[in-house]
């Protein structure tokens, strides 16, 4: 791994950054690319039934292996030092307390094996592997009596079954195969409408199903089956039923957005032949949660499948035996997800996406009143509840990455301090949440990061960063890209244009089949606002984003030449070439219709056909195995601009999906961001591109 270390070192030398993790200097310093390797990501708090201990995961880059790994930690609900429960070098995730408090189960793929459930005794000792299935375990849930697990397993492949068979015989491979070269990979045979997904690749007919696993006897029994995927298992309080989510639409689930909540007997022996459908909404129903008395199931629901992403997600409840559903959050007009009943069963908690934040909401079942018991300008992304009502929550702020907080008796306290050693050294930009008017008078909001050397009245080079989605938003959470740009003298604009969540369904659906119009106007309005506030230098503007942010970047530079530089990451500009190549066949049809029937509309949203207008130096990036927004979108734009003689470049990262996972690739991407903007926006004489192989220079 010497090359990895040299590569990371080279990035830092090129950018004249240095960092010493052990420094104790009193003056705060700007954040650097090297700090990426020092930030620990805290996820998924799980509080035990008695409200005494909280388990969670911490992930961080492993520089030696050039990948991320995660460990499970535990902290007392009263605070204090956190305790590592799993060792370095064996990535673990998804911790779940047994309801009786005796065990902590988690997922891990140790010794390069399949992901299995492992078990830790609360009294101490080493973790023990609990399950041993041919395929990996994708999810699990405890029964309330702590004797069984509901597992989610995908149908095993022939190779997995053969490997398990050989393992049982005490051999990794048949004698006839020993010493031979690996066999040629078999062709993919495709017969599904939805045949591709990012991070998976080509899809076959192997489906995910619910299994019941007896903890003591280790007996495994499949309880659902069929040509559809079953997911998100949740046990009834009496342990007789398992609720789950599944799209069983006829004639083809791949053609619809429908998902329903179903239940199946935990003792079922016919693999789901008698599963009971609980919800009938034609949109997506998901994340089932039982009431304490077992009479109701709460879940998230999308009421308008024609709007798919653009449709507001609500919280609803249905009788556990089936019957009329009651939608609880219609008056809120905000995305509402992840429901959990209060211990007394009288109310339902949920996460609300609201005005550039995510907070914890609570709806009373009797009168429908909605309050926000855990609410500030922050980003709450997950939570769990003890039997006595304490809430453990994962919360980030604009100047701190995620940490674990405890809400008890109306008081919210931070109980982990995972990144304090690093962040006590850093000077950060605390963004302003600003509102301004777009071209047509619509009020738009966004986060404005000032550069660290900000002086009122002085104009600064400024980067506009459209967000991904398009149905998503920027929140009051730690934004590493924005902080890095601010540390290097840029003002940074994070707008939430129309299409963003958190401002109501009408605001969200305003760009339906009209990409690059109203959202373009809103993005430009934030640039104009920053100029009017004498923060942004109109002669030193850059733009760039990822995913729909990359698509937006292509739209922007095809409509205006006011930007000195652009970086389009995982973007696209001509969508007929992506139809059938990416994972969005259903979305294209729903929003735009078939390209051969609605060519004018497809051409309207294709900025590729305005490529002659682009004079902005543009860098295109993406992962070689991204099936979300394939690299072909960036390749097309690069090829067109190159043919026109424009300043452009293309960087393709091997083996990366839509979301990058390799630390050195992420470091390289950050370094290239700064090099490109510094050259074209600031006018620095250093090259806009880093050397092809930086390791050879050092």
pLDDT confidence tier of residue 335, bands split at 50, 70 and 90? very high
Nearest to residue 678, comparing CAs of 569, 535, 570, 564? Answer: 564
Torsion, CA 250, CA 255, CA 261, CA 266, rounded to 10 = 70
Mean pLDDT lowest among 13-22, 479-488, 603-612, 645-654: 13-22
Please state the domain count of the chain.
Answer: 1
Cis geometry, peptide bond prior to residue 470 (ω within 30 degrees of 0): yes
Domain annotation covers residue 293: no
What pLDDT, on a 0 to 100 scale, did the predictor assign at position 136? Answer: 94
What is the dihedral sign for C-alpha 438, 441, 446, 448? positive
Q: Does 679 have pLDDT greater than 80?
A: yes
CA–CA distance, 118 with 87 (Å, rounded to integer): 13
Q: Does 695 have pLDDT greater than 70?
A: no
Domain annotation covers residue 198: no
What pLDDT, on a 0 to 100 scale, did the predictor assign at position 271? Answer: 65
CA–CA distance, 374 with 412 (Å, rounded to integer): 8
pLDDT confidence tier of residue 553, bands split at 50, 70 and 90? very high
Tell me what the mean pLDDT of segment 490-495 comes to: 98
One-letter-per-residue 3-state SS of 93-118:
EEEEECCCCCEEEEEECHHHCCCEEE
Nearest to residue 589, comparing CAs of 193, 227, 209? Answer: 193
Tell me what the mean pLDDT of segment 548-575 comes to: 97
The answer to whether the predicted template modeling score (pTM) of the entire model surpasses 0.75 is yes
Question: What residues have CB less than 8 Å from 426, skipping those under 6 apart?
Answer: 28, 29, 30, 31, 35
Residue 52 in tokens: 């005494």
What pLDDT, on a 0 to 100 scale, did the predictor assign at position 693? Answer: 54
Torsion, CA 448, CA 453, CA 459, CA 463, rounded to 10 = -40
% of the chain exceeding 90 in pLDDT: 82
Question: Do 524 and 462 meet the contact criterion of CB atoms below 8 Å apart?
Answer: no
Nearest to residue 500, comparing CAs of 477, 524, 472? Answer: 472
Q: Does 627 have pLDDT greater than 80?
A: yes
Domain annotation covers residue 92: no
Domain with 586, as residue range(s), is: 436-697
Q: CA-based Rg of the chain, rounded to a whole angstrom?
A: 26
Question: What residues have CB less than 8 Å from 125, skipping those under 6 apart?
Answer: none
**Higher model confidence: residue 629 or residue 182?**
629
One-letter-per-residue 3-state SS of 570-609:
CCCCCCCCCCCCCCCHHHHHHHHCCCCCCHHHHHHCCHHH
Tell me what the mean pLDDT of segment 304-330 comes to: 95
Domain annotation covers residue 478: yes
Q: What value does the mean pLDDT of the chain take?
A: 91
What pLDDT, on a 0 to 100 scale, did the predictor assign at position 161? Answer: 87
Q: Does 151 have pLDDT greater than 60?
A: yes
Mean pLDDT lowest among 20-24, 38-42, 461-465: 20-24
Q: What is the pLDDT of residues 263-285, one digit of tens each?
A: 999 997 766 668 999 999 999 99
| CATH label of the domain that carries residue 665 | 3.40.50.1820
What pLDDT, on a 0 to 100 scale, did the predictor assign at position 14? Answer: 35
Question: Do 518 and 510 meet the contact criterion of CB atoms below 8 Å apart?
Answer: yes
Q: Residue 546, Cα to own-chain centre: how many angstroms? A: 13
Domain annotation covers residue 559: yes
Q: What is the pLDDT of residues 186-227, one digit of tens each?
A: 898 899 988 899 888 898 999 999 999 999 999 999 999 999
Domain annotation covers residue 481: yes
- Tokens 């007929």 correspond to 576
pLDDT confidence tier of residue 343, bands split at 50, 70 and 90? very high
pLDDT confidence tier of residue 20, bands split at 50, 70 and 90? very low
Return the DSSP state at 45.
E
CA–CA distance, 500 with 520 (Å, rounded to integer): 13
pLDDT confidence tier of residue 185, bands split at 50, 70 and 90? confident
Q: What is the pLDDT of residues 532-544, one digit of tens each?
A: 999 999 999 999 9
Domain annotation covers residue 684: yes
Domain annotation covers residue 582: yes
CA–CA distance, 110 with 91 (Å, rounded to integer): 7
């Amino acid at each position: 791994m010497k090359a990895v270390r040299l590569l990371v070192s080279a990035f830092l030398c090129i950018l004249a950054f240095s960092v010493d993790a052990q420094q104790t200097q009193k003056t705060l310093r700007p954040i650097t690319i090297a700090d990426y390797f020092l930030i620990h990501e805290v996820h998924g708090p799980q509080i035990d039934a008695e409200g005494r201990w909280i388990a969670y995961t911490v992930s961080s880059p492993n520089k030696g292996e050039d990948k991320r790994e995660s460990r499970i930690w535990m902290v007392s609900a009263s605070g204090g030092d956190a305790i590592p429960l799993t060792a370095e070098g064996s990535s673990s995730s998804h911790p779940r307390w047994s309801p009786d408090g005796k065990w902590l189960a988690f997922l891990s793929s140790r010794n390069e094996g399949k992901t299995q459930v492992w078990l830790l005794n609360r009294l101490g000792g080493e973790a023990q592997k609990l399950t041993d299935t041919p395929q990996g375990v994708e999810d699990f849930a405890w029964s309330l009596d702590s004797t069984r697990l509901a597992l989610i397993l995908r149908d095993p492949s022939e190779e997995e079954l053969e490997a398990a068979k050989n393992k049982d015989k005490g051999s990794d491979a048949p004698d006839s195969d020993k010493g031979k070269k690996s066999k040629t990979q078999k062709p993919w045979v495709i017969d599904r409408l939805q045949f591709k997904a990012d991070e998976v690749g080509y899809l076959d007919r192997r489906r995910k199903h619910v299994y019941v696993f007896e903890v003591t006897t280790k007996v495994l029994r499949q309880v659902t089956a069929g040509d559809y995927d079953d997911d998100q298992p949740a046990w009834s309080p009496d342990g007789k039923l398992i609720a789950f989510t599944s799209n069983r639409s006829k004639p083809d689930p791949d053609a619809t957005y429908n998902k329903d909540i179903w239940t199946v007997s935990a003792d079922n022996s016919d693999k789901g032949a008698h599963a009971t459908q609980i919800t009938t909404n034609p949109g997506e129903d998901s994340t089932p949660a039982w009431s304490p008395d077992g009479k109701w199931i709460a879940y998230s629901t999308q009421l308008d499948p024609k709007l798919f992403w653009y449709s507001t997600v609500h919280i609803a409840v249905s009788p556990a035996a089936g019957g009329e559903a009651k939608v609880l959050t219609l008056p809120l007009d905000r995305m509402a997800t992840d429901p959990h009943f209060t211990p007394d069963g009288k109310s339902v908690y949920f996460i609300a996406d609201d005005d550039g934040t995510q907070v914890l909401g609570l709806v009373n079942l009797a009168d429908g009143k909605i309050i926000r018991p855990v609410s500030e300008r922050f980003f709450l992304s997950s939570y769990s509840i003890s039997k006595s009502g304490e809430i453990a929550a994962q919360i980030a702020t604009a100047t701190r990455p995620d940490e674990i907080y405890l809400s008890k008796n109306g008081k919210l306290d931070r109980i982990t301090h995972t990144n304090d050693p690093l962040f006590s050294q850093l000077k950060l930009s605390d963004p302003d949440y600003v509102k301004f008017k777009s071209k047509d008078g619509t009020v738009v909001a966004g986060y404005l990061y000032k550069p660290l050397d900000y002086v009122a009245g002085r104009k600064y080079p400024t980067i506009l960063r459209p967000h991904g989605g398009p149905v998503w938003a920027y929140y009051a959470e730690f934004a590493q890209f924005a902080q890095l740009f601010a540390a290097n003298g840029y003002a940074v604009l994070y707008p939430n244009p129309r299409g963003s969540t958190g401002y109501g369904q009408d605001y969200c659906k305003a760009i339906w089949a009209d990409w690059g119009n109203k959202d373009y106007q809103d993005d430009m309005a934030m640039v104009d606002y920053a100029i009017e506030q004498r923060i942004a230098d109109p002669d030193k503007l850059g733009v760039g984003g990822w995913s729909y942010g990359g698509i937006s970047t292509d739209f922007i530079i095809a409509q205006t030449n006011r930007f000195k530089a652009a970086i389009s990451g995982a973007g696209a500009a001509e969508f007929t070439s992506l139809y059938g190549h990416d994972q969005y066949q259903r979305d294209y049809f729903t929003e735009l219709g078939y390209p051969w029937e609605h060519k004018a509309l497809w051409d309207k949203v294709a900025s590729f056909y305005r490529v002659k207008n682009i004079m902005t130096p543009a860098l295109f990036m993406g992962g070689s195995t991204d099936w979300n927004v394939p690299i072909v979108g960036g390749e097309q734009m690069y090829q067109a601009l190159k043919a026109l003689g424009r300043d452009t470049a293309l960087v393709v990262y091997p083996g990366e999906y839509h979301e990058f996972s390799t630390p050195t690739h992420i470091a390289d991407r950050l370094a290239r961001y700064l090099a490109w903007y510094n050259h074209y926006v600031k006018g620095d004489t250093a090259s806009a591109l880093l050397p092809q192989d930086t390791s050879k220079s050092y």
